[in-house]
Structure 1
Amino acid sequence: MMRLDMRHWEMLYQVCQCGTLRQAAQVMAISQSALSHRLAEAERRLGGPVFERQGRLLKLTPAGEILIQQMQQVLPVLQRAEQDFIQRQQNDGVTLRIGVAAYNCYHWLAEFMAVLRQQAPGIEIELIAAATHRPLQSLLESEVDMVLAPGHMATPGVEAIALFEDYLELIVPVGHALASKISIEPKHLQAENYLTYSRTTQPGFEYERFIRPAGVVPARVSVVEVTDAIVELIAAGFGVSILSRWAVSEALVRGKVVAVTPGEGLSLQWSALVRRNEKASSAVRQLAGVLQTWFQANGTPVSIG
């Protein structure tokens, strides 16, 4: 039998989000006194303090940190279940939240949504930008229902559904000294300003497979967290980058930039990541199936060469 009611869990969530009882009370539209009594009741039921008072601020106790970590995984799932139930009761279908990991590319979205409305009219899509930088955590904490991800992101509780094969390419300005080469070697990056969307290396990407094994260090590394901005900077001559060919395919088709193959080629698998416990009949699985079929027919990157 659980010792806390749902109102206690909601209160703990808001206190953690706000940091003070006053702000949490305002969000919950109750008095600070009532909130303080509710917190005291929750701690009494649990048999110990969840927070330590530091003036007006509240700091989690070690036991409280464990409790809140678990709560932050479970509570969003319950909130999502409520939303799905209400939508289905109102015959409004279901809205699934998706993110795109590593590359914030959405040039495919409008065409896909037109197909989705024909094949699964009860499913709507909502894009969650925050998932780009924390894809697995966002998925496991139910902030999103699906993540489109390149590379290898295996983790317990997550299933990867293959979508299509892509390639990592060196993207350079038109007229750049490397633009006329059939392929490049790591040494060609030594004199370049290298643009990257993150300093954190990921398994299966260019740093692990191409740059680090050669012991090469570009002349300068600049972090630009938006893929479209990287492409614009490259087109203007401010640097080069190794990126997903599919993610920058529109810029390549328009001739804004040029793609050159690193070494003998670096393949990159794109997948739809879903929680492993999603039922076969769920809307998430249905969306994954439509995505897989559509990408296999329409989502493959521009041919190399």
Structure 2
Amino acid sequence: MIERVHLRVIQAVEQHGSLTAAAKELCVTQSALSHTMRKLEENLGTEIWLREGRRLRLTQAGQYLLNIANRVLPLLNHAEDKLKQIAQGERGTLRIGMECHPCYQWLLKVVSPFLDAWPDVDVDVKQKFQFGGVGALLDYEIDLLVTPDPLNKTGLCFNPVFDYEQVLVVPKGHALSNCSYARPEDLHDEVLLTYPVATDRLDIYTQFLNPVGIVPKQHKTIETTDIMLQMVACGRGVAAMPHWLAQEYCAKLPLSAVRLGKSGIAKQIYLGTRDSDRGIEYLKAFMHLARSYKHPTEAI
């Protein structure tokens, strides 16, 4: 029978590279760990690892069990945490997943009053997921997903929180800074700076450049908004981001925001939750607070 301890061992060996390191991580002796896994291999009738020098390589069966461990263990941990919170009379922890890089600044402005209003609730923010944002929500890695790209999935609900316009940010004095809007061909000779997101999920590609077959001179990815816009201000490239965020930086850096196309690119931010969590009071309170937060005017 496959038990939780087996999944934890397989995951620990994969993370730390050896039985010795995994045993240390799990606070057991290496001999006990080895005995446990040999018994499992005997019961299953197949090997889990192949030894290559000092390193263990997962077999096909071992890789399958690792995938199971990565999905099942977060769910079990979540269940235990929830039961402990119930037993101790705690409210719990709200785990928020982010699929919107520039929304981190917005989130900070919502989290602060939420923590004040709910002193027994902790907040944890995750930006990297084992199986993507929707997968993390379905697998109970997170409780709430902030995303501009909702997916229709059974058991999930996505509610719009606010509207915004995606704009192009250029340095002051740039040829586009005094234009009423930018055309796709205007980016042909530009260095485009974006967050590290696949181009098929970047609006400036899917809704602006790709439909007319335009490719920027160069595309660079940068993790943080501050560094990205410092680069733009120094003339190292141009960037696309929500207008409400661009406004904040235009007030403190030599930058200008330009509409993308004559009609602009309209977007919405959604909060995704599980249908089964609709009755959680602090989750409902967070969503109400998020919807009530007012952003700077979106007029360009």
Is TM-score (shorter-chain normalized) higher than 0.5?
yes
CA RMSD of superposed structures (Å): 2.6
Task: Flag structure 2 segments of 5+ consecutive residues without an equivalent.
Answer: none
Q: Which AA in structure 1 matches 2:289? A: W
Q: Which AA in structure 2 matches 1:295? A: A
Q: Which AA in structure 2 matches 1:270? A: I
* Aligned residue in 1 for 2:285: 290
For 1:170 and 1:190, the matched residues in 2 are separated by: 14
**Percent identity of paired positions between Structure 1 and Structure 2:** 29
Task: Flag structure 1 segments of 5+ consecutive residues without an equivalent.
Answer: none
Query: For 1:11-50, what aligned pairs fall within 5 Å after superposition?
Result: 11-50=9-48
Structure-2 change in CA distance of 1:157 and 1:58 (3 Å): farther
**Structure 1-normalised TM-score?**
0.86
For 1:252 and 1:112, the matched residues in 2 are separated by: 22
* Aligned residue in 1 for 2:182: 184
SS of residue matched to 2:105: coil
SS of residue matched to 1:59: strand
Q: Which AA in structure 2 matches 1:232? A: Q
- 1:184-205 deviations in Å (ceiling 9; x for gaps): 1101111212112236223471
Query: Which of 207, 211, 214 is equivalent to 2:212?
Result: 214
Displacement, 1:145? 2.4
For 1:12 and 1:132, the matched residues in 2 are separated by: 16
Query: For 1:99-118, what aligned pairs fall within 5 Å after superposition?
Result: 99-117=97-115
For 2:287 and 2:162, the matched residues in 1 are separated by: 8
SS of residue matched to 1:208: helix
- 1:153-208 deviations in Å (ceiling 9; x for gaps): 55566432221112110111122221111111101111212112236223471201
Displacement, 1:265? 1.0
Query: For 1:116-127, what aligned pairs fall within 5 Å after superposition?
Result: 116-117=114-115, 119-127=117-125
Query: For 1:121-270, what aligned pairs fall within 5 Å after superposition?
Result: 121-131=119-129, 134-154=132-152, 158-198=156-196, 200-203=198-201, 205-254=203-252, 256-263=254-261, 264-270=263-269
Most deviating of 214-223 and 143-152: 143-152
For 1:234 and 1:244, the matched residues in 2 are separated by: 15
Structure 1 runs of 4+ aligned residues shifted over 6 Å read: none
For 1:33 and 1:278, the matched residues in 2 are separated by: 43
SS of residue matched to 1:26: helix
Structure-2 change in CA distance of 1:10 and 1:255 (3 Å): closer
The number of residue pairs the alignment matches comes to 299
Most deviating of 47-56 and 116-125: 116-125
Displacement, 1:104? 4.5
Are the equivalent residues in 2 in contact too, given 1:172–1:234 (CA < 8 A)?
A: yes
SS of residue matched to 1:202: helix
Q: Which AA in structure 2 matches 1:265? A: G
Query: Which of 77, 80, 93 is equivalent to 1:79?
Result: 77
Structure-2 change in CA distance of 1:110 and 1:200 (3 Å): closer
* Aligned residue in 2 for 1:62: 60
For 1:12 and 1:27, the matched residues in 2 are separated by: 12
Most deviating of 146-155 and 54-63: 146-155
